[in-house]
Amino acid sequence: MSAVSNATCPVCRTADVVCGKWTLLIVRDLAEGAARFCELERSLEGISPRTLSLRLRALEEEGIVARHTYPEVPPRVEYALTVKGEALVPLIEDMRRYGTRWLGLDVEPEGATTTVAA
Judge whether 98 lies within some domain. yes
CATH number at residue 24: 1.10.10.10
Overall domain count for the chain:
1
The pLDDT > 70 percentage for the chain reads 85
Neighbours of 64 (CB within 10 A): 23
What's this model's pTM, rounded to 2 decimal places?
0.80
Number of H helices, E strands in the chain: 6, 3
- In this predicted structure, the answer to whether residue 108 has a pLDDT above a threshold of 70 is no
Would you state the pLDDT for residue 20? 87
